[in-house]
């Protein structure tokens, strides 16, 4: 059976304006590879309702899972939950369990649980909450969409709690052979090898380090034996 | 007149598998902000012909410019040029000027100018070349699509040569006020201020540093006077 597929939607003006460098995509990519879920596409959109809705609709019908990051805080630019509700065709309201968690959190902190903070309990109807062990405000899963916070420590904690609940596939394995030659000198034979192993993905990544150039030849796949066979052939060619 | 808009398409299995952390999006975002070109969306797809073609078509009809990164090297997984040609509806062939540049480069390096390296001169018909001062193999512009290398140093050099040729707009200006309060405590007044300045974009970004929490309140816009007015109001509220 092929591995489940996934897409990511990064939400936030701060990424597209260059203020903030996204790190959640890279983290998600590594975690999904390990879980045997194929990340096929990622998109980044700003804090614009229509753009979020359209991207969510496009990604959720074409992938088994969609992970979003960003836009679930207490301020006016946090519009992800409303956009997710519209994209999934459900209503949105204050979730009693989310309200209860936030109330406890702010009481313990001695900070006011005001209207803005209550906003973080607005969750699409029918969603399941995702724990936030850092700042209480939960993420949520509705249908095949998993809505996580944008702050990397919270994104990572939420992903750690949602990922074990998903049915994964065979982890993506990867092996690398580093050669001291330019890409153009290994390309032909490497391409022939790749054509012989259509079930594996082979990529080449040139590098320059202290004046020396070289290429990392990477083979990825889910079948350990096939990967070993291809690596043996690769090593014979260029090792 | 509104600023021109742009989208980015990052191409490469290595980003989606988690092998490589993309840094070109962040660089492009900063450069475009400075040039007054609004980056509205970014997508990441793997080395798959159909996915690249569909993304390029979608992005190029809805934005003034599309910038791509990755997939223009000499190996079998470098399929960007062919996908761009198909998306733009033109043929692709060995570009004489690109061949000439590559031939000189490899002669100077004393390395063979073989078939794989000649592949890097395959450029969609009608495209304009973009200089590559590092490893010679050019990028290109066709229609409103600018095709750049994935290696960050080369991506940055290519962008530096193409960006001055584009008609920019008013640079996006940005100012930040850091406050020692949680997002939830500034959200209400900050949201009211944002509603008063619909021509500006206001975002709030919480942080935790050595046990202290706080929020960066960021105002972005192209009109210096309006930005100054909003910042004065913001400082009066929370400064």
Selecting from B39, B120, B186 the residue whose C-beta is nearest the C-beta of A16 gives B39
Architecture per CATH, domain A173-238, reads as: 2-Layer Sandwich (3.30)
Identify whether the C-beta of residue B6 lies closer than 8 Å to the C-beta of residue B39.
yes
> Which residues, given as ranges, of chain A have pLDDT below 70?
none
Model confidence at B141, pLDDT cuts 50, 70, 90, reads: very high
* Domains in chain A: boundaries: 5-165, 173-238
Task: Please state the rounded mean pLDDT for residues B189-215.
Answer: 92
Q: What is the pLDDT of residues B99-129, one digit of tens each?
A: 999 999 999 999 999 999 999 999 999 999 9
Inform me whether the pLDDT recorded for B211 exceeds 80.
Answer: no
Task: Please state the rounded mean pLDDT for residues B126-148.
Answer: 97
Query: Fold match between A5-165 and A173-238?
Result: no
Q: What is the pLDDT of residue B2?
A: 86
**Fold category of A5-165 in CATH:** Molybdenum Cofactor Biosythetic Enzyme; Chain A (3.40.980)
Which of residues A21 and B208 earns the better pLDDT score? A21
How many Å apart are CA B76 and CA B74, to the nearest integer?
Answer: 7
Residue numbers in A near B9 (CB within 8 A): none
Q: What is the pLDDT of residue B144?
A: 98
Residue numbers in A near B201 (CB within 8 A): 13, 17, 47, 77
Q: What is the pLDDT of residue A211?
A: 78
Model confidence at B77, pLDDT cuts 50, 70, 90, reads: very high
Q: Are the beta carbons of B76 and A32 separated by less than 8 Å?
A: no
Residue A136: CB partners within 8 Å, gap ≥ 6? A101, A102, A104, A105, A106
Q: Which pair of tokens denotes residue A236?
A: 């014979």
Q: What is the pLDDT of residues B2-42, one digit of tens each?
A: 899 999 999 999 999 999 999 999 999 999 999 999 999 99
Identify whether the C-beta of residue B131 lies closer than 8 Å to the C-beta of residue B159.
no
Model confidence at B208, pLDDT cuts 50, 70, 90, reads: confident
- Alpha carbon distances (Å) from A210 to A204, A207, A213, A214: 20, 10, 8, 11
ipTM: 0.95
Q: What is the pLDDT of residue A212?
A: 83
Interface test with A, best of B76, B159, B237 (most A CBs within 10 A): B76
Q: What angle do CA A151, B197, B235 make, to 5 degrees?
A: 70
Nearest to B69 by CA among B19, B126, B12: B12
Inform me whether the pLDDT recorded for B173 exceeds 80.
Answer: yes
Inform me whether the pLDDT recorded for B202 exceeds 80.
Answer: yes
Task: Please state the rounded mean pLDDT for residues B195-221.
Answer: 92
Inform me whether the pLDDT recorded for B182 exceeds 80.
Answer: yes
How many Å apart are CA B119 and CA B136, to the nearest integer?
Answer: 13
Q: What is the pLDDT of residue A213?
A: 86
Tell whether pTM > 0.90: yes
């Amino acid at each position: 059976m092929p591995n489940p597929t996934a897409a990511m939607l990064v939400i936030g003006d701060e990424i597209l304006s260059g203020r903030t460098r996204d790190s959640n995509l890279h983290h998600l990519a590594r975690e999904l590879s390990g879980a045997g879920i194929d990340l096929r596409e990622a998109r980044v959109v700003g804090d614009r309702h229509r753009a979020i809705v359209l991207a969510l609709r496009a990604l959720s019908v074409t992938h088994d899972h969609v992970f979003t990051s960003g836009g679930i805080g207490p301020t006016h630019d946090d519009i992800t939950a409303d956009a997710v509700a519209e994209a999934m065709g459900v209503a949105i309201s204050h979730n009693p369990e989310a309200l209860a968690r936030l109330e406890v959190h702010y009481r313990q902190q001695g900070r006011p649980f005001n209207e803005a903070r209550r906003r973080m309990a607005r969750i699409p109807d029918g969603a399941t909450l995702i724990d936030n062990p850092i700042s209480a405000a939960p993420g949520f899963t509705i249908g095949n969409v998993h809505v996580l916070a944008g702050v990397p420590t919270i994104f990572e904690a939420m992903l750690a709690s949602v990922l074990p609940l998903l049915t994964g596939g065979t982890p993506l394995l990867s092996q690398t052979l580093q050669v001291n030659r330019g890409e153009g000198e290994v390309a032909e034979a490497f391409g022939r090898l790749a054509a012989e192993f259509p079930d594996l993905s082979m990529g080449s990544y040139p590098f320059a380090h202290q004046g020396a150039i070289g290429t990392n030849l990477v083979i990825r796949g889910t079948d350990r034996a096939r990967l070993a066979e291809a690596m043996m052939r690769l090593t014979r060619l260029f090792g």
